[in-house]
Amino acid sequence: MKDKIIIRTANILSKAFSPFFGPMWAFLWIFFFSYLKLLPLGYKIYILAAVFLFTVIIPCTGINIFRKINKWTHIQLSARRNRFVPYILTIIGYGVCYSVFVNVNTAQFMRGILVAALVAQFVCAIINIKWKVSTHMMGVGGLSGIYVAFSYIFGFNPIWGLSLLLILSGCLGSARMILRQHTLPQVIVGYIVGFIIAWFFVLIGW
């Protein structure tokens, strides 16, 4: 029973903090916990809807269709050799979302979030040629990097928020290893790469 609870908890964490939700979490934060909460509600809904559609709904739907066509289980899809098409579908979704942001003239640092996500996917795809890296940890590492970058942009102390993100990262990394999806090096590399890419591109955008 104890093992079942641990595995169930690991599955819940993995689903709640799927790498697809990374950009969505970032935009929710800036729209509700920064001065951007003063923006018109209609504008915020439009941006959040675009992010959700192009970075969650479309990639996830495409990946599920691809999985069903090949009659793969979720575990088979997570195998390194089968991850290239999901990477491509995700990159396309992020790219379309970025073009939408350009057309509606969003702030440069907001575009930086999507650029960081795009670059992270490209890096994952390249690493995947020889090795499997944790995209979940790259996602939460990206959130940590974005948060630190925001602390500079919006001028606040990031210690408490970053501490919570580090605790979450540790729990998520443990969950991925409990589910036998990744090894410790894959978890650590994923977090570090995600953090550096997100921190750099958000600050460059600013």
Residue identified by tokens 């942001």 is 101
pTM: 0.88
Report CA 161 to chain centroid distance, whole Å: 17
Distance CA 198, CA 116 (A): 5
The whole-number average pLDDT for the span 138-149 is: 94
CA dihedral 119, 169, 189, 61 (to 10 degrees): -50
Q: Which tokens in the block code for residue 197?
A: 């890419």
- Looking at per-residue confidence, does 82 or 112 come out higher? 112
**Domain tally for the chain?**
1
Identify the domain containing residue 187 by its residue range: 2-205
Whether 113 contacts 23, CB under 8 Å: yes
Q: Which tokens in the block code for residue 109?
A: 């640092």
Lowest mean pLDDT among 1-5, 48-52, 189-193, 201-205: 1-5
| % residues pLDDT > 70 (the chain) | 99
Residue 134: how many CA atoms within 13 Å on its side-chain side? 33
